[in-house]
Amino acid sequence: MAAAALRRGLLSSVSKYSRPPAHRILSVADTSCILDAFRPRLQCRACGLPNVVQPRRLMSSRPEGKILETVGVFEAVKQHGKYETGQLFLHSVFGYRGIVLFPWHARLYDRDVTPPMSDSKPDPPGAHGSKEVKGKTHTYYQVLIDTRDCPHISQRSQTEAVTFLANHDDSRALYAIPGLDYVSHEDILPYNSTEQIPIQHELFERFLMFNPSKAPPFTTRDTLKAWQEKNHPWLELSDVHRETTENIRVTVIPFYMGMREAQNSHVYWWRYCIRLENMGNEVVQLRERHWRIFSLSGTLETVRGRGVVGREPVLSKEQPAFQYSSHVSLQAPSGHMWGTFRIERTDGSHFDVRIPPFSLESNKDDKAPPAGYTF
């Protein structure tokens, strides 16, 4: 018999690395979060937010102020097939409540798996290692995050994962859609609710409607269908890259964002989402990043710096994952990125974690600027 899905201070008991028995699912505390609609945001190339400094010490990231409250009824996790539009879920790693908008089918290139020699994807020029990687199809979902949970997702640098180039002359201006995320199939913990508006997000009622005769009882509005169709090239998730070093797994998802003209040249933009996961029991902290960016024009750029997006996250058994997004631009239609993260142990020793090489590929056809990020 399915039991109530419960909401709590933060995700330590929800994590798939120490998942509780099926009769309990825990999510995040119910505290209001103001949604800043579609606010403009600037982020710099391969480095993130400037002028934010974390203290140089290892810190505990254990959540405080836990609150327990029923939010719905837990459903069986799907081992096969996919979840439908309107499926309510708790994120197994970050603990937030969300709802599925639609699925994506991506090619997962896992460097931890040794593939046959044929049908494989080689390393980019100059990248570390010579391992060839075979891609396999994997399901991800475009989802909405409940805005009440935004303040409590401490393992994310921000709760949105989708940005667009602004539709004006400033080629560096970016617009973000808060609370829109990409979630892997295995991170979905499904539940159902009798509430007609179980998720608080400005786009919920614009995209979905309550229909008690359906299962799940939320169906797609024409607005969501039109928005997906118009923005398909900018939303589509196509490749996912993954590699583990000394129990720290790095997952990278790149997105092409489009081209802008600047000073009589073309500038191509990409967004990339990175997730670090501590698969072991040792507490570690990310201290530095080292990127190498190769452009089809023949240039090779090196970027070093403290932390990522102004943070130096702690990865522990209680909070094993951290995720962030950043942006990069090239004056060429394609290129590659790879690098390392410098990780510090509690005894002060360090080791480098490899960032799997990934391609930066532009869409070949001319596309209209992204539409639908304002209503």
- Residue 206 in 3-state DSSP? helix
Q: Which two tokens stand for residue 162?
A: 């989708």
CA distance 293 to 359: 10
Question: Residue 299 phi/psi, 5° resolution?
Answer: -90, 150
**Residue 88 in contact with residue 99, Cβ under 8 Å?**
yes
Query: What pLDDT was estimated at residue 131?
Result: 57
DSSP 8-state assignment for residue 232: H
What per-residue confidence (pLDDT) applies to 52? 35
User: Which pLDDT belongs to residue 299?
Assistant: 92
The pLDDT assigned to 64 comes to 55
Cα separation values, 263 from 164, 171, 174, 234, 256, Å: 21, 10, 19, 24, 21
* pTM reported for the whole predicted model: 0.78
Residues of the chain under the 50 pLDDT cut: 1, 8-62, 118-120, 126, 130, 365-366, 371-375
Residue 32, pLDDT score: 32
* Residue 99 vs residues 12, 27, 86, 146: alpha-carbon distances, Å: 21, 14, 6, 8
pLDDT at 231 (0 to 100):
84
pLDDT at 57: 42
Neighbours of 76 (CB within 10 A): 8
| pLDDT at site 162 | 77
Residue 182 contacts residue 236 (beta carbons within 8 Å): no
The distance from CA 309 to its chain's CA centroid, rounded to whole angstroms, is: 14
Q: What is the pLDDT of residue 146?
A: 95
Instruction: Determine the 3-state secondary structure of 18 from DSSP.
Output: helix
pLDDT of residue 25: 40
Contacts for 215 with CB less than 8 Å, ≥ 6 apart: none
- pLDDT for position 172: 60
Q: What CA–CA distances, in Å, run from 248 to 277, 290, 301, 311, 353?
A: 6, 16, 25, 17, 7
Q: What is the pLDDT of residues 345-369, one digit of tens each?
A: 999 999 999 999 999 998 654 455 5
Q: What is the pLDDT of residues 2-46, one digit of tens each?
A: 556 655 443 333 444 444 433 334 433 333 332 233 233 334 444
Q: Rounded to whole angstroms, how far apart are CA atoms 161 and 102?
A: 15
